[in-house]
Amino acid sequence: MPLVYSCAWSPARLYRTSPQKDILNEPYEVDGARRPQRIFQQVFALDEAAFGEDLLSTQMPPRVRPGLALVAAGLGARSSFHIDPFEWLGWNYCVSGAKVWTFFSCGGDEGVHAVPSLRFAEKAPVARGGDQREEALREVGLLSSDRLCLAVGYESEIDVYADLSEDVLVGLAEASDEDVAVAVGDCAVVREALGAGLRVEVCVQRPEELIVIPAGTAHMVVHGAGSVGVAGQHCNTANEERVGAHALRRCRGNVRVAAEGLEVAVEAAIIAANGKERGEAICDVLWQEWDAYTA
């Protein structure tokens, strides 16, 4: 497993190393790391000493910034088979229950898109910051027609777990990673992906474990009984340019601007998406709103 800063595809799973219940301050161990690391520095904000400064919170206005997500699911509930929007580092903390993660990737710039049979198509993200209701937008000087969505993800209609036995999900609490991986490996989609040269990795996430999801990694999750978790995103200097470039490509802006920093890239993307005059007006509103929020 790579270090948590890495943009390499392999996911990292982190474990608690102390018996205390203080998830904000206790140390964790990461697969392959040499020493325990603290995960959270405040309520569900990744510790900057371990993960680097979170630039989403310092260089992206709240209205276009992704927010935290509470994930509560019953037995057999599952996510779509998808690739997260932007190019950020995703994370998912398990509060209770258990869930199975399956990750897909292959070498080269195309990644899983190199395998057409997986049928990934663009999909705009659902999770984003701010209130997007028309009346709320008008109150701050924005319009419902303003383009504030700066990212696109990818989603497939394929169900990775279509052939997974419910017995496996019922027994997740006691099952080993190896047993679950064997069961998932019997699924038709996984066999096809392996045959096409993709790398597939399976793991079980249990309470008080954190999964770190590198940018561009296709994944799908299926839940055991009573699963509750919190999910978020993190952008540090290691993937800052990648996040900015994604927004600029999405909005048909000049990707080279991404090298000037995330805040500059976000503003350039908004202007590219909405035209110079309207885009500059939107940026003024977003940054003034942000200043008022933090004052």
175-182 contacts, C-beta under 8 A, 24 or more apart: 175/204, 177/202, 177/203, 177/204, 180/100, 180/204
> What's the confidence (pLDDT) of residue 12?
65
> Do residues 180 and 105 lie in contact, with contact meaning Cβ atoms separated by under 8 Å?
no
Q: What is the pLDDT of residue 201?
A: 87
Spell out the domain ranges in the chain.
Answer: 12-294
Among candidates 57, 101, 69, 95, which has minimal Cα distance to 240? 57
Q: Quick one: pLDDT at residue 17?
A: 45
* CA–CA separation, 138 and 221 (whole Å): 38
pLDDT at 78: 93
Q: Which residues are CB-neighbours of 263 under 8 A, at least 6 positions away?
A: 59, 60
From the CB of residue 273, how many other CB atoms can be counted at a distance below 10 Å?
A: 21
Give residue 130's pLDDT.
52
**pLDDT attached to residue 267:** 96
pTM equals: 0.82
Cβ(203)–Cβ(11) below 8 Å: yes
CB neighbour list of residue 294: distance below 8 Å, 6 or more residues apart: none
d(CA 30, CA 9): 15
> How many whole angstroms from its chain centre is CA 46?
13
Q: Give φ, ψ of 37 to 5 degrees.
A: -135, 145
Q: Please, is 224 exposed, middle or buried when counting C-beta atoms within 10 Å of its C-beta (0-12, 13-18, 19+)?
A: buried
- Structure confidence by residue, pLDDT tens digits, 110-135: 667 767 778 888 887 765 555 566 77
H-only helix segments in 143-239: 166-170, 177-185, 188-195
For the chain, percent helix, then strand, then coil, each to nearest 5? Answer: 30, 25, 45
Structure tokens at 264: 């500059």
Edge-to-edge strand list for the sheet holding 81-83: 121-123, 153-156, 81-83, 218-223, 99-105, 199-205
Cα–Cα distance for residue pair 15/49, rounded to 1 Å? 17
CA distance 227 to 96: 5
What are the tens digits of pLDDT across the range 244-289? Answer: 999 999 999 999 999 999 999 999 999 999 999 999 999 999 999 8
SS3 59: helix
Which regions of the chain are under pLDDT 50?
1-9, 16-25, 27-28, 34-38
How many C-beta atoms lie closer than 10 Å to residue 145's C-beta?
9
Are the beta carbons of 257 and 240 closer than 8 angstroms?
Answer: no
Q: What is the pLDDT of residue 291?
A: 86
